[in-house]
Amino acid sequence: MLGNFTYHNPTKLIFGQDAMDALAAELEAYGPNVQLVYGGGSIKRNGIYDQVVAALAAAGKNVVEDAGVMPNPTVEKLYEGARIARENHVDLILAVGGGSCIDYAKAVAVSANLPEGVDPWQKYWVDFDEPAVDLDVIPVGSVLTMVGTGSEMNCGSVITNHGAKMKVGHVFADARVFPRFAVLNPEFTYTLPRYQMVAGIFDIMSHITEQYFSGTDDSTSDYLAEGLMRSLVRASRVAVKNPEDYEARSNIMWCATWALNTLIAQGKSTDWEVHMLGQAVGAHTDATHGMTLSAVALPYYRLVMPYGLEKFARFATSVWGVSPEGRTTEELASAGLDAMEAWMREIGCVMGISELGADESMLEGLADSTLIMQGGYHVLTRDEVISIFRASL
């Protein structure tokens, strides 16, 4: 295992069917004013909102609601949330929902108390600055209702700027951006529509593969990644048939958290180009994040496979159980991607960006919106980016 690293994750996880029982006590550690962040209102229909409000009342909190967080949080919504937090002297932001709500809450946390005249989009998502040491970063907590992003235990935040045709993720180095706690009850994910569940499942898979397909050394992180992928594939096949299978949903939730809480990235260079391609599609179409990834993943991996052939062959045998007998290394590697494609189709992933509203006329614009990463087996040229999008149509 190569490289030097420091690993620190300050998020407290409360997991299981009784996880919500601990929320009121957890809230007592924070000041009286809580900004309650959620999306379109599904938590009111499924009863989760009532449980959260009861816990806030039991802890004696003053609550200001910040609803309407969209699946791809926008810079305009960020400005609104920062104003709400600032005007109400918020002591804690409690995000109830999936990764978009938690990403948004972190963005508000680092933006609300910026000096007047400092634009958070420019500072954090264009210049990739970090919060000043003396900035009051508002603590964030979460109650997770949709799995996939791992945002409940990491310091990343993705914001969309439709005007600039950009969807950008900033993984903050400042540990204050990590959620302080996360409540994870797998039963809260039962009512999620199948499409959203499948999108979350592929988002998890993509998080793992984008860390796995880098480096050539013998890395413990890769063995952990392989175990997570095998668990995810097994659980996903159960969950798509029976969405209320607790064991399957709990394993998917746990895989999501460990896929992107920085653990399996240690000692790795990591790739992340699939996310850059998918986020470009999202910036132009506002499509569901996990499905933008599934639509571009296979064309990308088939293009870069020759540059990381040994790892792709290992992926075939260690994750998918493909027999190497009678196959060249290239044939084995290709068979692994074929196995992943079969699984993606089996669970219902979107397999082309045309299904998401993209067409041939958008390819140049998509390429303009794609950030080029350096950590994988091959650094893409602009022509290759366009060829991947074309193959993804």
Instruction: Give per-residue pLDDT as tens, 226-272.
Output: 999 999 999 999 999 999 999 999 999 999 999 999 999 999 999 99
- 252 in Cβ contact with 239 (< 8 Å): yes
For residues 330-338, average pLDDT? 98
What pLDDT score does 377 carry? 97
Name the CATH code of domain 12-188 (choices 3.40.50.300, 3.40.50.1970, 3.90.470.20, 3.30.450.90). 3.40.50.1970
Q: What is the pLDDT of residue 2?
A: 83
Q: Is the dihedral of CA 111, 112, 117, 121 positive or negative?
A: positive
CB 119 within 8 A of CB 79: no
135 — alpha (psi -120 to 50), left (phi > 0) or beta?
beta
- Nearest residue to 71 (alpha-carbon basis) of 46, 99, 45: 99
Domain residue ranges in the chain: 12-188, 194-392
pLDDT at 232: 98
Does domain 194-392 bear CATH number 1.20.120.430? Answer: no
| Residues facing residue 74 across a β-bridge | 160
| Averaged pLDDT, 106-122 | 97
pLDDT at 345: 98
The answer to whether the 12-188 and 194-392 domains have the same CATH topology is: no
Average pLDDT over residues 6-34: 96
Q: In whole angstroms, what is the distance from residue 168 CA to residue 275 CA?
A: 10
pLDDT at 3 over 90: no
The helix or strand, by DSSP H or E, that contains position 319, with its residue range, turns out to be helix 309-320
| Predicted confidence (pLDDT) per residue in 290-330, tens digit | 999 999 999 999 999 999 999 999 999 999 999 999 999 99
